[in-house]
Structure 1
Amino acid sequence: MSEEIQSFSIEYLEPCAYLYVEVFNSKPWNEQWSFNTARTRLFEITNTPGFVGFIFKQDELLGFLAGYCKQGQKSKSFYLEEICVRPDNQRQKIGTKLLDKLMQTLTSIEVKSVYLLTNKDGQAEAFYTKHGYQRKQEMIFMTKKF
């Protein structure tokens, strides 16, 4: 099996939406995505200015990541909006390879930081911590429902 990482292009939108539903409707997230809502979400992300994304294939699509660059007052940052790996292929370094490709790309375009949101104290936080991400104590996530 040959593995490859490619840029996330529009041709991967639907396969990635199916993967998104498979991953996030399963444990530990147990969300309720439909194919249409997942496709819309990914379409919006891919059409955000500064979009950067990659897919991981090994004969078939096994994972992807997507986000976008944002200009700050002194430097650019990258918001890692989504990373997704097929459940039965997790813990096989696919996420690590996607992050490595992302970091190479961001370094080449002079992005200075990456940020993301994830559930605390779970498998995802442990993954990001392993790769050098830290909780920001001076920042909080706030929401208002209506």
Structure 2
Amino acid sequence: MELKSFERNDLLRCTNTFTNVFNQEPWNDEWSTETAFQYLLDYTNSSGFIGIIAEDREEIIGFVFGVRKRWWSGDEFFINEMCVSVEKQKTGVGSKLMKFLEKKLEFDGIENITLLTDRGIPAEIFYKKNGFTEVDRVMFLNKNIT
């Protein structure tokens, strides 16, 4: 397995990994390839975008996409998406991706990583195992407008 920075020609392979992961349990999303491609492309076009991929024999088995955000107390990195192919989950790929990302961010002077995830799913356990803590004062809000 090789860990490296995302390049534009990795996007379709990341899209395939993304749809394979998120169209299954526990999310059961219904991503089409076209919609997922555009969704991930939007992130890659964001100011401050950073992407890391895990590649095994030319297959992308995991990736993390996010953005560097300027903050008064120091720059932080917000994880927009992270996934590991179902077959490679619980094998250390995600933790290795996270460690690789942390080293890159530290080198770039970024002091903090933030993200949102659902409660009660394997991702919550993964992030807590990798040193993330819940922020009690934060409230996530949503409003349907249609």
TM-score, structure 1 length as denominator? Answer: 0.96
Shift in Å at residue 114 of structure 1?
Answer: 0.7
| Structure 1 residue 119 displacement after superposition | 0.5
Amino acid at match of 1:109: D
What amino acid does structure 2 have at the position aligned with 1:90? Q
CA distances 1:97-119 after superposition (whole Å, capped 9, x unpaired)? 11001000110111111110101
Where does residue 144 of structure 2 map in the other structure?
A: 145
Aligned residue in 2 for 1:15: 13
The residue that corresponds to 2:130 in the other structure is: 131
State the 1:6 CA deviation. 1.5
Q: Return the offset for 1:122.
A: 1.5
Q: How many residues align?
A: 144
Deviations 1:4-45 (A, max 9, x none): 112111101011111111000000110111111110111011
Q: Give the letter for the 1:114 counterpart.
A: I
Identical positions, percent: 33
Query: For structure 1, which runs of at least 5 residues remain unmatched after alignment?
Result: none
1:37 to 35, 38, 56: 35
CA distance in 2, matches of 1:83, 1:74: 25
Question: Which residues of 2 match residues 1-146 of structure 1 at below 5 A?
Answer: 3-59=1-57, 60-146=59-145
Q: Which runs of 4+ in 1 moved over 6 A?
A: none
Amino acid at match of 1:22: N
Offset at residue 74 of structure 1 (A): 2.7
User: 1:43 and 1:61 mapped to 2: Cα distance?
Assistant: 16
Q: Write the distance in 1 (CA, Å) between the matches of 2:9 and 2:78.
A: 22
Distance in 2 (alpha carbons) for counterparts of 1:57 and 1:73 = 35
- What TM-score, normalized by structure 2, do the two folds share? 0.96
Letter in 2 for 1:10: R
Deviations 1:124-145 (A, max 9, x none): 0000000110111000100111
Deviation of the 1:90 alpha carbon: 0.4
